[in-house]
Structure 1
Amino acid sequence: MTLTVTGVSLGPARHVRPAAPAHPGTRLAALDLFRFAAALGVALFHLVAVAGTGGVRIWDGPPVAVFGGFYRIASYGWVGVPFFFMISGFVICMTAWDRTPGQYLRSRFVRLFPALWVCMTITTLVATVYPRVFTPVPFRAFLANMFLLADPLGVPRVDDVYWTLWLELKFYLLFLVVVWIGVTYRNVVAFCLLWSVASVLAAEVGQPWLDALVMRGNSHYFVAGIAFHLIHRRGSRPELWLLVAFSWALSIHYYEGNPWQASHGMSYTPSSILVTICFAALALLSLGHLDRLRWRPLATLGAATYPFYLLHYVAGFALVHFVVRHTAVGSVPLLTAVTVALIGVAILVSRYVERPLADRLITALHGRR
């Protein structure tokens, strides 16, 4: 069944411009830049800050001594995760427009799983060949991870950074309700309002199942991204900026209690500034101020961001651990070389493995009606 997705306005726009992409496939270079910046921030956070805590130590000494002031900078790289969620909200709303539920589900499946399967396999091979940093998960856990079921089934993750993918999958399924009803302006705004209210009420109800469903503590980032896409598509409207402001206020509230900051005595101010910068960056994009950005390599980096994110933790740690113990390469050159190498591998995976596999899946899925 084909759904009619004609947009319905909630009221007169104060600022109207045809800023939105006319087709779901339109690529925004600024989004590629934002994706890559978020992934790089998370990778540096893990390779520099997390690598010196708990039982995971890959450098010659404590990272704060090895990297000096850069350790403090890298310690706030986790802000890339909420930025990812905001970008996801923007992109999912953009790509879901004018699609049936079947088309939407196929596009999300092809986008999420081929790269996951490839990078999971690489990660498991690295952990098997070099188990001095991470131990490979049992085969049954590997199978659960293939479909992002490690968290709900309570089995070990192949890679700890994959926790964000379970939230992404839940967001895709929640937004499927909108796609099923019809992706119109009114329906999308109603979805954002209901999700925001449910997330706040979940804190009062105190039910774990409700928290898990509405993703309290992270839902506002997806909502902000959706609102920014609506601004990009339909122009500035009061209700959309109210959604953005409310989401920003919730983000400032929840990340005050970020466990990394709390356990390491990190200042709350830099994270507040960085989160606000993420909101400002998407605001500039949504208002069309970044439309002229057309640097072609950004498309390559944007396509490689997902494999880079999936590979940087286990493979990156293992590579640093091995090189530090067998060579005399300095820490900063080694960090740079490992980061560049991981980006290079991610580009190769994206171009020569993920893309062909995704194309075959698209052909197979379109062959079944």
Structure 2
Amino acid sequence: MPSRSDRLYELDGLRLLAALCVVLFHYTFSGWAGGSSPVVFGAESAWSKYGYLGVDLFFLISGFVVLMSAWGRSPREFLVSRAVRLYPAYWVGIAVTTVVTVTLGQGLFRVTPPQVLANLTMFQAVPDIANVDVVYWTLWAEMRFYLLILLFTWIGMTRGRIMAGLWTWLGLTFAVEAGLLPGAADLVVQSEFAHYFIAGMALFMLYKFGLNLQIALLVPICLGNAVVRAAGYADAVGERYGVAYSPAVVTAVVVLAFLVMTLVALRVTRRLARPWLVTAGALTYPLYLLHAHVGFVVFSRLGAVVPRYVLLAAVVLVMLGAAYLVHRFVERPLAPRLKRLLSGRPAAPALGALVTGRRDGLSRFS
């Protein structure tokens, strides 16, 4: 677990930036282009249509910080840390989205009790049950990535084992892409996004141990595959919404994401880090969970009576405020209790709990 002095505040800022890119993608492009919002942002969509690439940055950051979090932990400690990190805000997101959908979103979205119950597990993709909110698909990708990290914690993490694992994963990715493995193998390999997780982990190894030949080869190979797959993914998104994507812009965004994360790994960005960015990082996950369907319902209800730019600014600010409330009144108080419960530890004395709570608050990568 990183100490206070090891905190990479700049990653908190990058995470919120990625989340805001996704928010604007939904609010000013995919919402109206996909028929979920009546409010059209035609001019803004020329650039906001690229906002879905914030997810690519999320995955790259995730490879870095999840390996950082797991390093030196036992399998149980890692599982507890992930459960504490993911589930409280997620359950609130499901509850809020379900209530808004049932009360205000009839005709726009639909949820059923079995669907909600399945979504509470975060494994609804296994029985192929629809997500309560469209953004939850990324959580299934993250969960499968966590299972691979769990395997590393069980084997025992060393520099050699991690690097061997990354090369193996990259090789399996190319094997899936070449059709040398059955399609079912991609359930684990995740060839569509594996290069981001692999590169993020490799960049953490660079951060922790310094540059070596393996990292110098691995990251550029991942970048090359990321560019190729991102171009193909952009074509699919464009076909879905009836727009064209510039391969040059997509390539530039992916290269920029890799470049920025490389600078983070090389500690070049430390001078930009500010402690207040911890708050930005804390808002990211609940903002991501809450914004999509709830926002579309608000746009649908108020789009005809409120000027679109006023409505856009108001909805974004309200979602940021709601994200803060979830962090402040759900994640922060519930996390230490849930951690003790899952760890099988007795409650700490009041002073010890206070100190532990402060330390946990400074280590959101845990």
1:62-105, Cα deviation, whole Å (9 max, x unpaired): 431xxx1x211100001101100011000011011111111111
2 CA distance for matches of 1:133 and 1:159?
A: 15
Mapped contact 2:136–2:289 kept (Cα < 8 A): yes
2 CA distance for matches of 1:338 and 1:187?
A: 46
Match 2:161 to one of 165, 177, 187: 187
Shift of 1:214: 0.4
2 CA distance for matches of 1:55 and 1:324?
A: 13
Match 2:250 to one of 271, 285, 308: 271
Match of 1:50 in 2: 30
Match of 2:211 in 1: 236
Residues 24 and 251 (structure 1), Cα distance of their counterparts in 2 relative to 1, 3 Å cut: farther
- Asked whether 1:38 is paired with 2:13, we answer no
- Asked whether 1:255 is paired with 2:235, we answer no
Match of 1:12 in 2: none
2 CA distance for matches of 1:130 and 1:190?
A: 51
Shift of 1:46: 0.8
Mapped contact 1:48–1:74 kept (Cα < 8 A): yes
1 CA distance for matches of 2:83 and 2:208?
A: 25
Name stretches of at least 5 consecutive residues in structure 1 with no aligned partner.
1-20
Mapped contact 1:38–1:83 kept (Cα < 8 A): yes
Residues 346 and 133 (structure 1), Cα distance of their counterparts in 2 relative to 1, 3 Å cut: farther
Match of 1:295 in 2: 274
Shift of 1:223: 0.4
Name stretches of at least 5 consecutive residues in structure 2 with no aligned partner.
347-366
**For 1:102-251, what aligned pairs fall within 5 Å after superposition?**
102-132=76-106, 134-203=108-177, 204-205=179-180, 207-251=182-226
Pick which of 29-38 and 315-324 moved more.
315-324
Mapped contact 1:133–1:318 kept (Cα < 8 A): no
Mapped contact 1:162–1:310 kept (Cα < 8 A): yes
Matched AA of 2:284 = T
Mapped contact 1:24–1:94 kept (Cα < 8 A): no
Mapped contact 1:63–1:71 kept (Cα < 8 A): yes
Residues 323 and 161 (structure 1), Cα distance of their counterparts in 2 relative to 1, 3 Å cut: same
Matched AA of 1:362 = K
Give 3-state SS (helix, strand or coil) of 1:266's partner.
Answer: coil
Mapped contact 2:29–2:49 kept (Cα < 8 A): yes
Mapped contact 2:10–2:274 kept (Cα < 8 A): no
Match of 1:3 in 2: none
2 CA distance for matches of 1:361 and 1:170?
A: 22
Match 2:46 to one of 72, 78, 81: 72
Match of 1:82 in 2: 56
Pick which of 31-40 and 21-30 moved more.
21-30
Match of 1:15 in 2: none
Give the CA RMSD over aligned residues. 1.8
2 CA distance for matches of 1:91 and 1:352?
A: 24
Normalization by structure 2: what TM-score? Answer: 0.89
Match of 1:331 in 2: 308
Match of 2:41 in 1: 63
Shift of 1:156: 1.3
Give 3-state SS (helix, strand or coil) of 1:151's partner.
Answer: coil
Shift of 1:135: 2.7
Mapped contact 2:25–2:52 kept (Cα < 8 A): yes
How many equivalent pairs are there? 341
Match of 2:317 in 1: 340
Pick which of 240-249 and 205-214 moved more.
205-214
Match of 2:298 in 1: 319
Shift of 1:297: 2.6
1:230-271, Cα deviation, whole Å (9 max, x unpaired): 111111112112111011001111111121134411211111
Identity of aligned residues (%): 35
Normalization by structure 1: what TM-score? Answer: 0.88
1:6-32, Cα deviation, whole Å (9 max, x unpaired): xxxxxxxxxxxxxxx864994211110
Mapped contact 1:90–1:226 kept (Cα < 8 A): yes
Matched AA of 1:202 = V
1 CA distance for matches of 2:153 and 2:38?
A: 45
Shift of 1:136: 3.6
2 CA distance for matches of 1:207 and 1:103?
A: 33
Give 3-state SS (helix, strand or coil) of 1:186's partner.
Answer: helix
Matched AA of 2:253 = L
Match of 1:353 in 2: 330
2 CA distance for matches of 1:357 and 1:58?
A: 38
Matched AA of 1:118 = V
2 CA distance for matches of 1:266 and 1:214?
A: 27
Mapped contact 2:18–2:58 kept (Cα < 8 A): yes
Residues 133 and 282 (structure 1), Cα distance of their counterparts in 2 relative to 1, 3 Å cut: farther
Shift of 1:295: 2.3
Match of 1:4 in 2: none
Mapped contact 2:195–2:223 kept (Cα < 8 A): yes
Shift of 1:296: 2.9
2 CA distance for matches of 1:176 and 1:333?
A: 45
2 CA distance for matches of 1:132 and 1:44?
A: 24
Mapped contact 1:134–1:314 kept (Cα < 8 A): no
2 CA distance for matches of 1:23 and 1:359?
A: 17
